Amino acid sequence: MESSKQPNDDGSTHIQRLTPGKVDVVLGAHPRKRRHERRPKGTGYSKWLIVLALAVFAGYLLFPRTKPQAQPLIEKPLPTAEQPPQALIPSAPQPVAAQAPEPYIGPNVVRRELPAPGVQPLDECMKNGNVIDETVLNCRFGQVPKAAEREPAKGMVSSRYMADYKSDIARSNTERPTKPFSIASVSFRAVDSRSRYHADFRVFNNHIENSSVCMNFSKGSVENRECRRAAVVFFKESCQEWTKRAARDRDEQSKQTQERYCEANRTFEAG
């Protein structure tokens, strides 16, 4: 508790001790009760570190430093890519100039020009005659050259074929006058169309002459060729038909007709 007594102000400074536990307004708390402020630790070290850093920085600025010299760049040659060996291209052959064909030089032929025969008067050559023959012409114009006869062709066919051909001609020439023949006319349909052919052929002793079939058409013509083609079919069909009729009728005429057409069916060729 505070003292209720007023201090005596006589002009002198009086020092009064405070009771422990009380706080003086002017002087503050009791020294024992006074709180001591704690200083942060490490502030001294940080100052030294700052000073040291400044010293190092100042020395870095003051002392000259050698600048590193730039090293010259050494140019290295670039590795060249190995090119594959080129294939040997054969050179085009040079065109050879075509040689002009040498002119053919035939054998030297000496031509002798005959003197032109003198033309004689016609009256002197005829000698009071009225017929102009070879003698008169030779007298008037000189010797007239005769036409040379052509030699028969050789080497076209074999000798055996020619001998057979001549023998067939000789046999046909000898047989025709002696053997009686008749001309038969038939009508049959064409092979490739609906038209009909009227064909004639010769018959010798009930045998059809194959070479005379379609004799009414010119030999070698289109009509003759087509007619003979149709005759092949006609002889075949006639042989079959007359075979049936001969077996049915059993007469001599039907049998002869059947033999005639069946023989032509076996031997006749259109070509």
User: How many domains does one find in the chain?
Assistant: 1
Within-domain flag for 251 = yes
Amino acid identity, position 269? E
Within-domain flag for 135 = no
**Mean pLDDT (whole number) for 245-252:** 91
Rama region for 17: left / alpha / beta (φ>0; ψ in -120 to 50; rest): beta
CA distances to 93, 163, 174 from 169, rounded to whole Å, are 66, 10, 9
Amino acid identity, position 90? P
Within-domain flag for 30 = no
Within-domain flag for 225 = yes
pLDDT tens digit sequence for 19-33: 655 555 555 555 555
pLDDT tens digit sequence for 77-116: 665 656 655 555 556 666 666 666 666 665 555 566 555 5
Within-domain flag for 106 = no
Neighbours of 265 (CB within 10 A): 18
Within-domain flag for 34 = no
Name the 3-class secondary structure at 189. Answer: strand
pTM of the prediction? 0.36
Within-domain flag for 214 = yes
**Mean pLDDT (whole number) for 218-245:** 92
Within-domain flag for 255 = yes
Q: State the pLDDT at residue 198.
A: 92
Full residue range of the structural domain in which residue 189 is found:
181-267
